[in-house]
């Protein structure tokens, strides 16, 4: 199963060919798309800045996905991940931290073009 990062979702909304091709591949494989609340929020912030058609497109896209819960275990993982990154002198943004921890907690891989996620031990990353 695959958790879709905001970079992928925004690229889909913008019609970026690599993202569109990867979506076609997921659909052919009948692999459902999942989203975390922080990734969806990042998409909605951008969509609200533009309003109108982009906002409706973002709402439609996000409404078609399965949602991953941000639960207690996700919070525990986020704390551990950030503590490790801070010790290394390389903390992560709160949104990315939560996206990573929720995805990891649910045992999914993360579809993104943001290579910063590679710093999270155990998180499986897929790029496009």
Q: Is the pTM of this model over 0.75?
A: yes
pLDDT digits (tens, 9 = 90+) for 6-63: 999 999 999 999 999 999 999 999 999 999 999 999 999 999 999 999 999 999 999 9
pLDDT digits (tens, 9 = 90+) for 58-72: 999 999 999 999 999
**Terminal CA-CA length for the chain:** 16
- Parse the chain into domains and list their residue ranges: 2-126
Distance in angstroms (rounded) separating the CA atoms of residues 64 and 126: 21
Residue for token pair 């970079």: 7
Distance in angstroms (rounded) separating the CA atoms of residues 36 and 18: 22
CA atoms within 13 A on the CB side of 16: 13
What is the assigned CATH class of domain 2-126? Answer: alpha beta
């Amino acid at each position: 199963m695959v958790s879709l990062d905001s970079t992928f979702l925004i690229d889909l909304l913008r019609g970026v060919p690599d993202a569109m091709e990867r979506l076609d591949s997921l659909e052919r494989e009948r692999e459902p798309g999942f989203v975390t609340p922080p990734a969806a929020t990042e998409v909605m912030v951008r969509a609200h800045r533009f309003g109108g058609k982009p906002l409706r497109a973002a709402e439609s896209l996000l409404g078609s996905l399965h949602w991953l819960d941000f639960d207690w275990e996700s919070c525990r993982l986020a704390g551990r991940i950030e503590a490790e990154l801070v010790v290394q002198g390389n903390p992560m943004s709160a949104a990315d931290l939560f996206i990573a921890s929720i995805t990891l907690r649910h045992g999914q891989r993360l579809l993104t073009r943001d290579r910063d996620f590679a710093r999270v031990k155990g998180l499986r990353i897929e790029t496009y």
